[in-house]
Amino acid sequence: MDFRRLTEADVPGYLQSLPVMHAHFTAFDTLDVVEVGDGNLNYVYLVSNRHRPDETVVLKQAVPYLRVVGESWPLTRHRMDIETAALRHFRALCPQHVPEVFHADSDQSLVVMQRLREHRILRGALLDGQLFDQVAAHLSTFMARSLFFGSDLYLHPDAKREAVKRFTNVELCKITEDLIFTHPYDDSPTNSYNEALPRAAIDRIQRNPRVRAAVGELKYAFMTRAESLLHGDLHVGSVMVSADETFVIDPEFAFYGPMGFDVGLLLANFFLGWCGQGARGGAGVAASQRWLLDTAAQCWEEFAHKFAALWQQHEQDSGFIGRDLDGHSRQAFRDAFMRRLFDDSLGFAGCEMVRRVLGLAKVADIAGIDDLHARARAEMTALRIAERLLLERSEATSIHQVLDWVRA
C-alpha cells in the first residue's frame, strides 16, 4: 500500500480496518481525534470514544521529512520501524515504565499504542510547579535495565552484533551528530541565538579550542562506541508522569551507542530546568530547584547502584574479564567501567546544555522565558555549567560535587 499521511478525518476509518482495534473500541463513528504532535519529527493523534473515554489510544505517524523544518529536510520513514522495535524491546525489560504497542504498520510508518490518559509530559508538569517523588527511582530503573541488558556485559557477542545491525539508525544519528555535536559550535545557520545573549558568551564556547576538542572527543565516542541500545533522546520531554507512575516514550532516536549519552541527556535537562527556574523566579522556585538537583543526584546514584547489581547478578563464573585470580580484579574493572560511564555522562550533559542554548531545538524551561534578558541570564548560567562539565568532568569525585558546580 502506498504511503499517505493520515489526517484527523482519516484516523477512525484506519483504526476500524484493524481487527486488533475492535478489542479496544466498541464503536468507531464516535471517535474524537486530536493532533497534538509538538515535537520535531512526527504527527501524533489522540483518539478516544466520546461516549466511553476509557476507550482510547495514541496513533503516531512518521512523515518523510523533519517536521520542525519541513519538506526541505528529507528524512526516512524507516525511523518508525526503529521506534516500534525499541518500544517493544524496552517494554519487555521495563513493562511498568514503557507504553504497550498495540499495532505497527511499516508501510504507513505508524504505530498505535497505549494512551497514558492520567499522565503529563514531565517538562510541562515541572514548569507548572508539580513535583514527583518517584521519578528518580523509576528512571534509574529504566536506564539500568535498558543499558545493562542491551550490552556486552549481558548479551552473547553474536546477539549483540545482530542487535547493533537491527538498530542502525543512520539518519537520526546524523541529526544528533549535527545538532548536538557540530552546529552549536561552528556558528551554523541552523543555530538560533537569543538576541540578548552576549556575543562573548557564545564565543566563549565556539572559539574555545579546549571546548571544541572535548566536544570532538564526545562526538567520536557517540559515533564509534556501540555499548548498548540507547533511547537516544532521553530528556524530560520524553517522560510522562503521574503521582505514582513514570513512562518513557518516543525512542525514535534509538541506536547502539555510549551508555553515558542517555544518562547525560537526562542530567542535562534537570540542570537546564534548574537554570530556567532561577531566571523565572516566583514563590515555588526554591522547592523546584531543590527537586531538580536532588532528582538528578538520585537518578545517577540509583542508576549506578542498580546497574552494578544487575552486573553482579548476571555475571558468568568466568566474568567479563576472565577468571579473577586475585579476588579483586573483577571489582577493579567494574569500578573503572563506572568511572568512565560517569565521566561520559557529564560530558554528554555538557553537550546537551550547549545545544539547547545555541542550537536549533530549544527547551521551554529557558526558551519560554518572555523577558529576553532574564532568559539570557539563564542561558549564560547553562553555558557556564556546560563548559565546566566538558572541561572538568574527569575531576568530579561525585555527583554531589557536580551539583556544587551547578550552584556555583
**Residue in 206, 174, 205 with CA at minimum distance from that of residue 187:** 206
Question: What are the C-alpha distances in Å from 204 to residues 35, 210, 211?
Answer: 41, 10, 9
| pLDDT for the residue numbered 319 | 79
Residues 288 and 250 in one domain: yes
How confident is the model at residue 328, as a pLDDT? Answer: 95
- pLDDT at res. 72: 78
Same domain, 172 and 79: no
Q: Are residues 86 and 128 in the same domain?
A: no
Give how many domains the chain has, as a whole number.
2
| Per-residue model confidence as pLDDT tens digits over 225-268 | 999 999 999 999 999 999 999 999 999 999 999 999 999 999 99
Work out the burial of residue 199: count CB atoms within 10 Å of its CB; fewer than 13 is exposed, 13-18 middle, 19 or more buried.
Answer: exposed
> 60, 93, 114: which is the final residue of a domain?
114
Whether residue 85 is found in the same domain as residue 66: yes
The residue written with cell numbers 468507531 in the block is: 28
Both 102 and 125 in one domain: the answer is: no
Question: Mean of the pLDDT values across residues 202-219?
Answer: 98
Give the CATH number of the domain where residue 79 resides.
3.30.200.20
Does residue 298 sit in the same domain as residue 171?
yes
Domain that includes residue 316, residue range: 120-407
* The model's pTM: 0.95
Identify which of 327, 126, 349, 161 has the alpha carbon closest to the alpha carbon of residue 237: 126
User: Quick one: cell of 174?
Assistant: 546524523
> Is the domain of 76 the same as that of 133?
no
Q: Are residues 295 and 194 in the same domain?
A: yes
Q: What is the DSSP letter of 198?
A: -
Task: Examine residue 5 and state whether it is found in any structural domain, yes or no.
Answer: no
Instruction: Supply φ then ψ for residue 257, to 5 degrees.
Output: -150, -170
Q: Quick one: which of 88, 82, 110 has its CA closest to 5? A: 110
CATH number for the domain including 216? 3.90.1200.10
Per residue in 262-309, pLDDT (tens digit) is 999 999 999 999 999 999 988 899 999 999 999 999 999 999 999 999
DSSP string, 96-143: TTSPPEEEEETTTTEEEEE--TT-EEHHHHHHTT---SSHHHHHHHHH
For residue 2, tell me if it sits in a domain: no
Which set of grid coordinates corresponds to residue 17?
480496518
Compute φ and ψ for 312, nearest 5 degrees: -65, -35
Q: Of 55, 88, 114, at which residue does a domain stop?
A: 114
Q: For 298-339, how does the pLDDT look when each residue is reduced to its tens digit (9 = 90+)?
A: 999 999 999 999 999 998 766 789 989 999 999 999 999 999
Same-domain check for residues 252 and 226: yes
Instruction: Let me know whether 103 and 124 are in one domain.
Output: no
CB 358 within 8 A of CB 191: yes
